[in-house]
Amino acid sequence: MTTQREKAEHFQTLHRGATPLVMPNPWDIGSAKLMAGLGFAALATTSAGFAATLGRLDGSVTLDEVVEHAATLVGATPLPVSADFENAFADEPAAVAENVSRMAATGLAGLSVEDFSGRADAPIYDIGLATDRIAAAADALHSGDARVVLTARADNYLHGRRDLADTISRLQAFQYAGADVLYAPGITDPGEIRSVVTAVDRPVNVLALPGTPTVRELGALGVKRVSVGSGFSLVAIGAVVEAARELLDDGTYGFWSVAGAGAGVVRAAFASPSQR
């Protein structure tokens, strides 16, 4: 795969497999190369993981920074990359279309747009506006030479609105608005996951959280894609903190047992062909 069109087409095909597409969320060039070297078929960005590399919390990066980050990860490996594009950095559909077009120009195979507004008083967009936003994004992403895969997110469960019926209504509306993949992060109950899958006619992504069924079990429920969000980046941060506390508090070096394994993976993933 060398062109954006080839990557986007392949990315779409990966959602039709007999087993779910397992998609990690790297946060920089190094982690992207590591994930590619381990054998994953596609990658996705993580807004929280990227923000952490800048010393910020999720939701605090700028549109320009996200566009640049997407271009960087697209160039890091030959794999299809899908971007976590938050709320597309806009409220109105016309601005959403303009911003997703900027992202598509980076060579992405896909991106996601959520219905989380970022406002404490009204965290979830009205379903009418949310649907219009997805329709605008779909028109923009599907009109170019490469049909970039649009994932539409219903973020109720991440923001205190555990309303399955409303979540399903949103996903159904997003499907009819042109979304290619549907995603309701935060749903972990097998019965609720099955309800989502059977209520729509598009591939469904599930966020792997504690208590979520295994990938094999999700496949049996009809799920077509599994992602980890900020999970891997938080694992990396947690490991560094644990090692630092050992050195600071105990003055010992047990962390090298993990570091040694990491060194071998780095050599395999980062070495040029002539260095292997």
Which among 171, 177, 111 is positioned nearest to 146, based on CA atoms?
A: 111
Determine what percent of the chain is predicted with pLDDT higher than 70. 98
Return the percentage of the chain with pLDDT > 90, whole number. Answer: 92
Q: Side chain identity at 37, as an amino acid letter?
A: G
Residues 190 and 210 occupy one common structural domain: yes
Q: At 214, which amino acid appears?
A: T
Does residue 154 share a domain with residue 41?
Answer: yes
Distances (CA, A) of 131 to 12, 142, 178, 182: 22, 16, 9, 13
* pLDDT tens column, 153-174: 999 999 999 999 999 999 999 9
Strand order, beta sheet including 225-227: 21-23, 225-227, 204-207, 181-183, 149-153, 110-114, 81-84, 43-44
Same-domain pairing of 99 and 182: yes
Q: Are residues 207 and 256 both part of a single domain?
A: no
Summarised one tens digit per residue, pLDDT across range 184-200 is: 999 999 999 999 999 99
Q: What is the pLDDT of residue 1?
A: 66
Lowest mean pLDDT among 155-164, 193-202, 230-239, 258-267: 258-267
pTM flag (> 0.85)? yes
Domain with 113 in it:
4-229
CA angle 255/257/259 to nearest 5° reads 70
Q: What is the pLDDT of residue 276?
A: 62
| Cβ atoms within 10 Å of 17's Cβ, excluding its own | 13
Segment 15-23 shows an average pLDDT of 97
Sign of CA dihedral 102, 105, 106, 110: positive
Under a CB-based contact definition with an 8 Å cutoff, are residues 20 and 223 in contact? yes
CATH code for the domain of 118:
3.20.20.60
State residue 260's pLDDT score: 87
Is 212 in the same domain as 267? no
**What per-residue confidence (pLDDT) applies to 2?**
85
